[in-house]
Amino acid sequence: MSMTLATTWVRRGVAAQFPTKYDVDEEELGRISRLARLQLEDAKQDLEEARRPSEDGHDDDTGSDAEETGNKQRPNGNPSNRQDDDDDLAEYNLDDYDNDEEPVTGEKFAMSGNVKSLAYHAPGEDDPYLVLPEGDRDSDDEREDLQILASDNLILAAKVEDEVAHLEVYVYEDDNDNLYVHHDIMLPAVPLAVEWVDFPVGPDSGKRDTGNFVAVGTMSPEIEVWDLDTVDSMYPNAILGQAPENDSTVTSQGSKKSKKQKKPKPKLNDEYHVDAVLALAANRQHRNLLASASADKTVKLWDLTTGKCAKSYRMHTDKVCALDWHPTESTILLSGSYDRTVVATDMRAPDAEAPRWVVSADVERVRWDSHDPNFFYVTTEAGTVQCFDARSPPQKHDQPSKAVWTLQAHDSPVSAFDINPAVPGFLVTGSEDKRVKLWNVQDGKPSMVVSRNVDVGRIFSAQFAPDLEVAFRLSVAGSRGQLQVWDTSTNPNVRNVFGGRVKMPADSGNGERMVAVAESDSESESDEEDAGQGGMAVEGDEAGGLDGWESMDEN
């Protein structure tokens, strides 16, 4: 099973031309070794606790006592099997496993196979099978494989594949119609939100003014910030909102903190989230500020300079799932929640009453109109897109607020939404109905331009490229784990509708362009309702269909 849950673009010219490879030094190896040793000690302690009879004469690995030991039951919990377990574990000599003494015989390595055939090299002597010739250590081929050109875009895709969470860093070469995975980053939990950050974070942040980083929100309360210009990193540059540890950990000096009993779930506080992080938004004018929205019903503002929470806000009564900073008023943050409200908060005056709008279903996405920031858009679980005028906030909140217009875009939740940065009135929606739709909303009368099944399953993300010269490139990702890049300028209807507003790329005459990286055996579901049409099928009402919109006059 493979799913891509969130994506974002990185504009051209930001990434390092030759990303560096993470180098594990002796100090880092020592830290990893100490961590492994402490984890082994904890495992041995848990094993002994599981073996120890309880005071009432019953084993700890039965009934409620098993839950207290983390449900670490053996396949056969019968006490008669204890001797067998001891015999099975004896060969590994766990009691002496963490001793610092060097082994004097090959007996400890019996599990490794034919030890007698192994060659031994004295200290200082190079093993010819492990040491490459001097000229091959940093080969030109490897350097070329890592190269990112100034004309390339990066696309960051947060995925879950076979229960493994990771972030794939794609390189999109527009000139060559090429899309490939440059490197990936392992994540601690299911990723739900990604946001590109250009503010330097981490130990060397004081040596530069800009950076190429990504903030990742997951099912865990912490937010990890990774350096995209470093390949094969083992640890994030920063972890925002790291709560106090419950179990034994390794400090920076390698000492062990005492192992404590299971603690209750952390309470809501102003320093860190206590539930999943559902949305992230970087402030492009105050570049050290990152906003996060969480299932704990709070919005938090992080100072990337210190890595600390600068302020916590509670403007909603349910999970907060969507954020967007105002394009020009840099302190105004738009937030949407499952409480079916949207709030425009001035982060400088959080105690002041903020404008609030009510919608008729749970919020999915919120976005300011970058071409006219007096307006913003809200997509909902009911499949609607609504446009609101921020200059006319409602005075009553006991019923849904009046919108400039309401569009019934899909029959399923509108889980993906974006505004083209180069073309006013050019919107995209994506839904769990597996369709991507392009819209023309100029003059307040939305009409559908194109509808597509792009063969990525249920749509979770659809975004236009941020650079104006490639703004017609649209990335789409969903429940099948694939990432598609669609050059929407190659569609005839798009050219007819928007060609008069901006200069369109020259038509190559080769038909529509769509680029993807194939996922082997990752398609987890069929698309039966569209099987007869295929991945590039066009609905009958493709050009000019209204697909259900209500004007202000009709309201």
Beta bridge partners of 8: 156
Higher pLDDT, 117 or 237: 237
pLDDT 10s digits, 260-294:
455 677 899 999 999 999 999 999 999 999 999 99
Quick check: 38 pLDDT over 90?
no
The structure tokens listed for 268 are: 């809501």
Considering the chain, what is the average pLDDT of its residues? Answer: 80
Band of pLDDT at residue 413, cut at 50, 70 and 90: very high
The burial class, CB within 10 Å (0-12 / 13-18 / 19+), for 212 is buried
User: 3-state DSSP helix/strand/coil percent for the chain, to nearest 5?
Assistant: 15, 30, 50
Strand boundaries in 426-509, DSSP class E: 426-431, 436-440, 447-452, 459-464, 473-478, 483-487
pLDDT of residue 412: 97
Quick check: 96 pLDDT over 50?
yes
- Which residues, other chains included, contact 347 with Cβ-Cβ below 8 Å and sequence gap of 6+? 301, 311, 313, 331, 332, 333
Strand boundaries in 473-548, DSSP class E: 473-478, 483-487, 513-516
Concatenating the DSSP letter of every residue in 87-109 gives HHHHTTTGGGTT--SPP-SSGGG
Quick check: 116 pLDDT over 70?
no
Q: What is the Cα–Cα distance from 530 to 435, expressed in whole angstroms? A: 10
The structure tokens listed for 145 are: 């494989």
Q: What is the Cα–Cα distance from 219 to 294, expressed in whole angstroms? A: 10
Residues 239 and 254 sit within 8 Å (Cβ to Cβ): no
Q: What is the Cα–Cα distance from 288 to 282, expressed in whole angstroms? A: 8
pLDDT of residue 103: 45
Q: What is the Cα–Cα distance from 551 to 555, expressed in whole angstroms? A: 7
Question: What integer is the mean pLDDT of 163-168?
Answer: 95
Band of pLDDT at residue 90, cut at 50, 70 and 90: low
Provide the edge-to-edge strand list for the sheet that holds 178-186. Answer: 2-10, 153-161, 164-173, 178-186
The burial class, CB within 10 Å (0-12 / 13-18 / 19+), for 120 is exposed
Quick check: 15 pLDDT over 80?
yes
pLDDT 10s digits, 351-392:
889 999 999 999 999 999 999 999 999 999 999 999 999 999
Which secondary structure element, helix H or strand E, spans residue 218, and what is its range?
Answer: strand 213-218
pLDDT of residue 544: 39
pLDDT of residue 123: 55
Q: What is the Cα–Cα distance from 368 to 324, expressed in whole angstroms? A: 7
Distance of CA 384 to the CA centre of its chain: 25
Average the pLDDT over each of 273-282, 294-303, 528-537 and give the range with the smallest value: 528-537
The structure tokens listed for 164 are: 């493994």
pLDDT 10s digits, 184-198:
999 999 999 999 999
Higher pLDDT, 335 or 49: 335
Quick check: 79 pLDDT over 70?
no
3-state SS, one letter per residue, for 18-49: CCEECCCCHHHHHHHHHHHHHHHHHHHHHHHH
- Look at residue 499 and give its three-state secondary structure: coil
User: Taking Cα atoms as reference points, which of 528, 518, 292, 554 lies closest to residue 405?
Assistant: 554
User: Taking Cα atoms as reference points, which of 485, 493, 499 lies closest to residue 542?
Assistant: 493
Quick check: 531 pLDDT over 90?
no
Question: What integer is the mean pLDDT of 168-178?
Answer: 93
Quick check: 249 pLDDT over 80?
no
Q: What is the Cα–Cα distance from 363 to 385, expressed in whole angstroms? A: 10
pLDDT 10s digits, 491-519:
999 999 999 888 888 876 677 888 987 54
Note the residue count of the chain: 555
Quick check: 310 pLDDT over 50?
yes
**Amino acid in the structure at residue 444:** G
Rg (CA), the chain: 27
Q: What is the Cα–Cα distance from 379 to 361, expressed in whole angstroms? A: 9
Question: What integer is the mean pLDDT of 285-312?
Answer: 97
Higher pLDDT, 255 or 161: 161
Quick check: 150 pLDDT over 90?
yes
Q: Are strands 191-197 and 223-227 parallel, antiparallel or unpaired?
A: unpaired
In this structure, what DSSP letter does residue 295 have?
Answer: T
Higher pLDDT, 57 or 152: 152
Residues 231 and 19 sit within 8 Å (Cβ to Cβ): yes
Quick check: 109 pLDDT over 50?
no
Quick check: 527 pLDDT over 60?
no
Q: What is the Cα–Cα distance from 6 to 2, expressed in whole angstroms? A: 13
User: Taking Cα atoms as reference points, which of 434, 438, 478 lies closest to residue 460?
Assistant: 478
Quick check: 157 pLDDT over 50?
yes
Which secondary structure element, helix H or strand E, spans residue 308, and what is its range?
Answer: strand 308-313
In this structure, what DSSP letter does residue 410 have?
Answer: -
Percent of the chain whose pLDDT exceeds 90: 57
> What sign for the dihedral angle of Cα 420, 322, 184, 210?
positive
pLDDT 10s digits, 447-495:
999 999 999 999 999 999 999 999 999 999 999 999 999 999 999 999 9
Q: Are strands 375-380 and 384-389 parallel, antiparallel or unpaired?
A: antiparallel
